[in-house]
């Protein structure tokens, strides 16, 4: 008889750049995870432990960033001058501006989402000052570095079926950032669509999907 699929959010203390994400995940999950399970972690928390964030007050806002952010929907992380400037600082001011303009033209011709392709990998990864674990909810958080290497280390340390870093929000968006071999990333991401992560005040940035291996084999 197949074991039942179950999503288990795992509480932690506040994590900072002084924490090693692999050591931290092992500490909080070693008595909860088995060889058939999938370990999932919120991408913003991985990035925070890598020191990949910036405080808005440390940014010098350019006129280009002030102009470009006006063309981003209000719910987007790049809709603020600070969010847009943080992107321009890592991907290049003129690259981002060109990608925004070219993406608008592409959308006219029926091809959406090209700004996020042409603007660089951080375009879709940056989290503006919401949704991350306090006190980092006042910071702009970049995407994690080397996510596929991170999940590989997590899997090896825990001995579980797989590990995944995911970008999930309350708008029913769930996206794979890094995932180990043998795991069907899009299928696993759909299981997180209701956002079991509570990486804000709830402090549950880790989620174990129990018996995921059997679920993937049978679906």
pLDDT at 137 over 80: no
DSSP code for 152: H
Q: How far apart are CA 142 and CA 52, in angstroms?
A: 6
Each residue of 61-115: pLDDT tens digit? 999 999 999 999 887 889 999 999 999 999 999 999 999 999 999 999 999 999 9
The superfamily (CATH) of domain 6-51+141-218 is CofE-like (3.30.1330.100)
β-strands 53-54, 140-141 pairing: antiparallel
State residue 1's pLDDT score: 43
Domain with CATH 3.30.1330.100 in the chain: 6-51+141-218
Q: What is the pLDDT of residues 174-193, one digit of tens each?
A: 889 999 999 999 999 999 88
Question: Which residues neighbour 43 within 8 Å (Cβ) at sequence distance 6 or greater?
Answer: 125, 143, 144, 147, 165, 166, 167, 177
Which percentage of the chain shows pLDDT scores above 90? 72
Whole-angstrom Cα distance, residue 204 to residue 215?
23
Residues comprising the chain, all counted:
219
The rounded distance, in Å, linking the Cα atoms of 130 and 173 is 15
């Amino acid at each position: 008889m197949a074991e039942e699929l179950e999503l288990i959010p795992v509480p932690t203390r506040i994590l900072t750049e002084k924490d090693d994400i692999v050591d931290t995940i092992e500490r909080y999950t070693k008595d909860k995870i088995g060889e058939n399970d999938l370990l999932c972690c919120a991408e913003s928390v991985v990035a925070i432990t890598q020191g990949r964030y910036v405080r808005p007050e440390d940014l010098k806002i350019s006129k280009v960033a002030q102009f470009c952010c006006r063309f981003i929907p209000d719910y987007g992380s790049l809709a603020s001058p600070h969010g847009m400037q943080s992107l321009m600082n890592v991907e290049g001011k003129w690259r981002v501006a060109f990608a925004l303009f070219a993406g608008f033209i592409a959308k006219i011709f029926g091809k959406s989402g090209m700004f996020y392709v042409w603007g660089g990998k951080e375009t879709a990864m940056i989290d503006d000052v919401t949704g991350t674990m306090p006190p980092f909810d006042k910071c702009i958080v970049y995407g994690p570095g080397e996510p596929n290497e991170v999940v590989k280390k997590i899997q090896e340390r825990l001995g579980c079926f797989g590990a995944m870093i995911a970008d999930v929000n309350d708008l029913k968006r769930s996206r794979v950032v890094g995932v180990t071999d043998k795991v069907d990333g899009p299928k696993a991401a759909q299981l997180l669509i209701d956002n079991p992560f509570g990486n804000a005040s709830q402090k549950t940035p880790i989620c174990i999907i129990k018996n995921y291996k059997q679920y993937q084999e049978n679906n």
